[in-house]
A and B are shown apart, each in its own frame.
Chain A
C-alpha cells in the first residue's frame, strides 16, 4: 500500500477543499477502498475521511415525499431501518443478500453504489485494464467470459457492476444529491455510471445522499430482489433481478425492473417495463417481459448462458413480486432457497 496522508475534516467545505487536490480518495466504510489499496489497484496519496461530517449517516423523509438516505448510512443500518422496511423493503432484501454482516456493518450506501468491479483483470494491477488505465487493453477479453457482461458491454470493458443495492435503486428511479465546490446538484442514479460502469462524477465531488422518490413506496407491497449466486450466502451475483409492481384491479399499473450481474451498470430494461405496464399478470406476460429485457443481450466468449439465466431470474422475481413482499426479509435474503411463502404483507 502506498503511504498516504489522512485527513478527517469536520465540515463539508473543508472536505471538498481537501478533495480538490489530485490523487485524493474519499474514505467512508473502507471495505472496498482499503482492499483495493492493499491490492495496489488504488494508490491514493490522500484519504479524506467522511466520518467527521454531520448528517451523512441519517435517513430522513423528504418534504415532497420520499426519503433521503445519507451517503454514509451503513448497509446494516439501511437494512434494518423501519422506514426503509416500510417504504422500500426491497432495498433491505438486496443489501442483506450482499457480502457478509461484518462488511455490511462498515460499508456505506454511496460506497456500495460506487464499488469497483470484481473483474480479475481490474483487480490485478499488473494486468491490462482499460478501466484502470485507459487504452491499456482488457485482460478479461482473453478469458471464458463467465463473469462478463451480456448487456451494454463496450469494446473497452466487459466487467459487470457488482452492487446489489444499486439494482433496486435504479429500478425505483433513485436520484443522488451530489456536492461539489460549486454547490449541490441532483442527478439520476442511472447517470452516475458511464458506459463502462465507472463513476461519471468529476474528481472531488461527493455523493451526500441517495434520494428515493415518493412513488417508490407505492411498490413496497410487491417488490422483490432475487440473486443467483454460487454460494447460498457471501457471493456476488451471477445474475440478479429487482422486480417491483404496483397492482390495482388485477392489473399491473406500473412496473419497475432492473437486472444485476449482466451489465457494466445496474441495467434498467425499459422495454420490459413497457410490456408489463397495464397488463394482467400471467406467467406468459412475465416471460414476454423477460424476453424483452434480454432482447439486446449478446454473449461474450462462453457466457451465453447468462442471457437465459437472467431471463429466468427475472421471471421468478416478477412471480415473487406478484405474490407480495413478505413481512420480514427472509433469512436467506434474495435466495432461491428462501421460502417462496405467501407474501402479501401490504395486501
Chain B
C-alpha cells in the first residue's frame, strides 16, 4: 500500500470531472496502476474485460447470485456492484490469487475432494465467499451458520451440501454432514 500514488485531487465543482481517471489498487498482492476509460466500469468488468482476470463470473450483474464474489479490503463483496472508480487505494483479492506456488488453497482442495462443484460457474464465487465467511465468523463449525453465511452464493447445479461439507472440513469439523435427528 505504501507505494501507491496519492489519490487524484477531487474536482468538486466540475460536472464533467473524472471522465477518465487512474486508480491504484493492490490486486492479489500486486500493486497496479489502472487507467479507467469510463467511470461506469464495475470492479467485475474491470477484472474480466480489462485486466484479463476472468475467474470472477457474471451470473446476474445485480448482486443476486454471488458468482462475482471477491474480497475487497479483506471482505467479500459482489464485484458487480462496486464501481471501479471508487477503488483507488483498495486491495482486491480474486480466485486467481488464491493458493500459491502451484498448490491449492485448502478450500480449493476441499471443494475438489468433496465434489463441491458441478458446472463450476459459481465455484470461484463460492470459494471466495467461503474465504470471507471464515474471516468473518472464525472457525464456527455450526452448519446453520455456514449455510446462512453462504446463502448469498447461488448454485444451480445443487452442490450445496458438498460445499458446506467442504467448508466444514477446512474448519476441521469433520467432512460429513450428519443427518439431523
Using CB atoms and an 8 Å cutoff, list the residues of chain A in contact with chain B.
1, 3-10, 14-15, 17-18, 21, 27, 30-31, 34-35, 38, 45-47, 49, 51-52, 76, 99-103, 105-106, 231-234, 331-333
Contacts and interface: CB of A to CB of B under 8 A. Distances in A.
Interface string B15-44: 111110100000000000000001110100
A46 B19 CA distance: 11
Contacts of A46: 15
Given A46-B15, A49-B86, A105 B77 contact: yes
Contacts of A105: 72, 75-77, 132
Contacts of A17: 12-13
Contact of A1 (B21, B40, B133): B40
B83 A34 contact: yes
B125 to A, nearest CB: 9
A4 B39 CA distance: 7
Contact of A102 (B11, B18, B21, B78): B78
A333 B148 CA distance: 9
Contact of A35 (B81, B133, B136): B81
A6 B41 CA distance: 12
Contact of B63 (A51, A103, A333): A103
Contact of B86 (A4, A8, A18): A8
Given A3-B40, A76-B75, 16 more contacts: A3-B39, A6-B17, A14-B10, A14-B12, A17-B12, A31-B78, A34-B82, A100-B63, A100-B151, A100-B153, A102-B66, A102-B77, A106-B81, A106-B82, A233-B148, A331-B144
B175 interface: no
Contacts of B62: 35, 38
B69 A102 contact: yes
B63 A31 contact: yes
A30 B142 CA distance: 31
A102 B148 contact: no
A231 B132 CA distance: 22
B149 interface: yes
A332 B144 CA distance: 7
Nearest to A77: B75
20 contacts: A3-B19, A3-B40, A5-B18, A6-B17, A6-B21, A6-B39, A7-B18, A27-B86, A30-B86, A34-B42, A47-B39, A47-B83, A100-B63, A101-B129, A101-B132, A102-B152, A105-B72, A106-B81, A232-B148, A234-B151
Contact of A7 (B10, B40, B66, B81): B10
Contacts of A21: 15
B38 A3 contact: yes
Interface of B: 7, 10-19, 21, 38-40, 42, 61-63, 66, 69, 72, 75-78, 81-83, 85-86, 129, 132-133, 136, 142, 144-145, 147-149, 151-153
Contacts of B152: 99-103, 234
B78 A101 contact: no
A76 B77 CA distance: 11
B19 A5 contact: yes
A34 B76 CA distance: 17
A244 B49 CA distance: 49
B15 A5 contact: yes
A8 B153 CA distance: 31
Contacts of A232: 148, 151
A331 B145 contact: yes
B83 A101 contact: no
B87 to A, nearest CB: 10
Nearest to A337: B144
